Amino acid sequence: MDVKLDQLCLSVCEIARLAGKMIADERKRFDDSRVEYKGLHDLVSYVDKNSEKLVVSRLETLLPEAGFLTEEGTESKKGEKYTWIIDPLDGTTNFVQGVPVFAVSIGLQEKDEIVLGVVYEIGRDECFYAWKGGGAFLNGNNIHVSERDNIQDALLATGFPYSEFSRLDRYMEFLKWVVINSRGVRRLGSAATDLAYVACGRFEAFWEYNLKPWDVAAGSIIVQEAGGKITDFAGKNNFLFGKEIVATNQKLQQLFLDKLKEIMG
pLDDT in tens, 46-64: 888 899 999 999 999 999 9
Task: Give me the pLDDT at residue 77, please.
Answer: 78
Residue-wise pLDDT tens digits, 182-209: 999 999 999 999 999 999 999 999 999 9
Report residues of the chain scoring pLDDT below 50.
Answer: none
Q: Confirm whether 5-142 and 151-264 share one CATH topology.
A: no
The structural domains of the chain, with segments of one domain joined by +, span: 5-142, 151-264
Task: Give me the pLDDT at residue 265, please.
Answer: 75
Q: What CATH class is the domain 5-142?
A: alpha beta
Region 151-264: CATH code: 3.40.190.80
Query: pTM for the whole thing?
Result: 0.94
User: What is the SS3 assignment for 72-109?
Assistant: CCCCCCCCCCEEEEEEEEECHHHHHHCCCCCEEEEEEE
CA-CA-CA-CA torsion sign (65, 70, 76, 81): positive
Closest alpha carbon to 248 in 159, 149, 152, 168: 149
Task: Give me the pLDDT at residue 35, please.
Answer: 78
Task: Give me the pLDDT at residue 161, please.
Answer: 79
CB atoms within 10 A of CB 166: 9
Q: Which residues pair with 36 in a beta bridge?
A: 44
